[in-house]
Amino acid sequence: MFPPLRPLLLIISLATVLLAMAACSSTSAATEWTFGDSLAIRTKETRFVPEVRYSIGDKHYLIKPSQDDRAILAAHLEVFNRQANVVYLSINKNTLRLADQNFFEYQPLDPFKDSQEVDKATPRENTLIPFIWADGSELAPAINMPAKCGQNNENCQLVGWVFFEVPKSIKPTQIVWEAADTIYMYFTAG
């Protein structure tokens, strides 16, 4: 009497199983807001990814681990200027680090220097952008972040991704930010 409902129920069941599998395949950890003298910062989420793909103009780039037993840990950060008139930020390999459960530290990957150009786009390209990176280069100039949003078309916040090459078995415990302030973001147990 209700044959058209069976395919619909099957599709809904399959979609639910696939979503559950996707949720289990990536680890997500976050931090609470942490405050420095000038900045407020948090890690909104982290996830293990096999690679990062992005494009600039007509060129396509790939960031991948250097070894088979490693993965890319992508951390989605949110940074606010909470009280300084202007904060000058240079964000590079020396201003961020990730610590794991064994107190090993990992420097971030430079999304421009630690990538390789590839021939074509893929469906997952540009899913982990924008980057939080400001090493003073042409692609990533230093950032002047005012206290008031909208001032001269500038933002008082940054939201974007940083990447770390880590062992697949890592359990991140904290990210240390050392640009304008030194801020320790501890991951909540979960």
Q: Is the dihedral of CA 115, 61, 45, 26 positive or negative?
A: negative
Query: Tell me: the pLDDT tens digits for 44-103?
Result: 999 999 999 999 999 999 999 999 999 999 999 999 888 778 888 889 999 999 999 999
Q: Is residue 172 part of a domain?
A: yes
Show Cβ contacts of residue 39 under 8 Å, excluding neighbours closer than 6 positions. Answer: 79, 80, 81, 82, 87, 177, 180, 181, 183
| pLDDT average, residue stretch 14-43 | 65
Q: Which domain holds residue 74?
A: 27-186
**What is the predicted pLDDT for the residue at 17?**
35
Q: Is residue 22 part of a domain?
A: no
Q: Is residue 139 part of a domain?
A: yes
DSSP 8-state assignment for residue 62: E
Q: Is residue 59 part of a domain?
A: yes
Q: Is residue 17 part of a domain?
A: no
Please give the span between the terminal C-alpha atoms of the chain, in angstroms, as a whole number.
Answer: 47
Q: Is residue 21 part of a domain?
A: no
pLDDT mean across residues, the chain: 83
Domain count for the chain, please give it.
1
Phi, psi of 158 (to 5 degrees): -125, 135
Question: Residue 48 sits in a domain of what CATH number?
Answer: 2.60.40
Q: Is residue 2 part of a domain?
A: no
**What is the predicted pLDDT for the residue at 96?**
96
Check whether 3 has a pLDDT greater than 90.
no
Compute the residue count for the chain: 190
Q: Is residue 15 part of a domain?
A: no
pTM, full prediction: 0.80
**What is the predicted pLDDT for the residue at 11?**
43
